[in-house]
């Protein structure tokens, strides 16, 4: 009899555990695609976006990034995906409606630290988050927000390509044109990938690090 009483208590415990598990939301994953210009970050992002059903993902980009198109993410090989242009990371959450399973933030280095809190909050809600960002500036200095995202991400990925000068490991963004009024935004007319040894920092003084 004692035995059956114990079993009954065990069953209650097991039932309680099941209820708790059912009420838990699966945590989403945070993927961070870091790398220099032309390292394939956006191509990889678009490949992953394609795995989600239509209407279950939303992509954000900073309004400053008007290369190719203001309302779309465009990879250097010409593929596009609609994107919501925003000025601050705090604008992301109101756009994330129920049913959204994946949120992407392109070029996260244009945003302040709030983008990290937003990514964590979405993951806590069960949404998968993918962010892309440069990991180094044109002077070869690590970008702080990228370093933080590399530490934070469940899946940190550093993309690399081929140095346009020597064929070595392309991991830096070589500025090719003068920097006007501190505006660093540019495409293939303004940048090419280089290895660390071939990187020639711009003559302009580097901006203060955030
Ligand atoms: Zn090189």
Separation of 171 CA from ligand 1 center, angstroms?
Answer: 9
The closest alpha carbon to 91, from 105, 101, 109, belongs to 105
107 catalytic? Reply is: yes
Separation of 177 CA from ligand 1 center, angstroms?
Answer: 18
Q: What is the pLDDT along the chain (210 residues), one digit of tens a residue?
A: 444 444 444 444 444 444 445 456 789 999 999 999 999 999 999 999 999 999 999 999 999 876 667 788 888 788 889 999 999 999 999 999 999 999 999 999 999 999 999 999 999 999 999 999 999 999 999 999 999 999 999 999 999 999 999 999 999 999 999 888 888 888 888 999 999 999 999 988 888 765
3-state secondary structure of 172: strand
Domains of the chain with bracketed CATH: 26-159 (3.40.50.300)
pTM for the whole structure: 0.84
Q: Tokens representing 28?
A: 């989403």
The closest alpha carbon to 104, from 96, 112, 189, 75, belongs to 96
Residue 9, pLDDT score: 43
Q: Which residue has the tokens 């071939």?
A: 198
Separation of 191 CA from ligand 1 center, angstroms?
Answer: 14
Residue 210, pLDDT score: 58
Separation of 40 CA from ligand 1 center, angstroms?
Answer: 18
Residue 12, pLDDT score: 44
The closest alpha carbon to 115, from 83, 136, 86, belongs to 86
Residue 2, pLDDT score: 40
Q: What does 36-96 look like in DSSP terms, one character per residue?
A: STTSSHHHHHHHHHTTSPTTSEEEEEETT--SS-TTEEE-TTS-EEE-EEESSGGGSGGG-
Separation of 35 CA from ligand 1 center, angstroms?
Answer: 16
Residue among 22, 107, 192, 204 flagged as catalytic:
107
């Amino acid at each position: 009899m004692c035995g059956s009483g114990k079993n009954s208590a065990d069953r209650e415990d097991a039932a309680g555990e099941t209820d708790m598990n059912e009420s838990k939301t699966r945590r989403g994953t945070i993927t961070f695609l870091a790398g220099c210009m032309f390292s394939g970050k956006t191509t990889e992002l678009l490949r992953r976006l394609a795995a989600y059903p239509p209407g279950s993902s939303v992509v954000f980009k900073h309004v400053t990034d008007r290369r190719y198109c203001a309302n779309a993410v465009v990879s250097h090989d010409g593929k596009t995906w609609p994107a919501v242009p925003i000025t601050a990371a705090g604008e992301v959450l109101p756009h994330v409606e129920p049913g959204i399973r994946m949120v992407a933030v392109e070029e996260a280095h244009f945003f302040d630290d709030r983008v990290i809190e937003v990514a964590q909050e979405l993951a806590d809600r069960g949404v998968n988050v993918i962010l892309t960002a440069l990991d180094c500036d044109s002077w070869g200095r690590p970008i702080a927000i990228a370093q933080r995202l590399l530490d934070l991400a469940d899946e940190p990925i550093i993309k690399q390509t081929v140095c346009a000068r020597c064929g070595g490991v392309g991991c830096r963004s070589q500025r090719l044109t003068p920097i006007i009024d501190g505006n660093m935004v540019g495409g293939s007319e303004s940048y090419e990938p280089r290895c660390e040894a071939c990187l020639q920092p711009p003559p302009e003084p580097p901006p203060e690090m955030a």
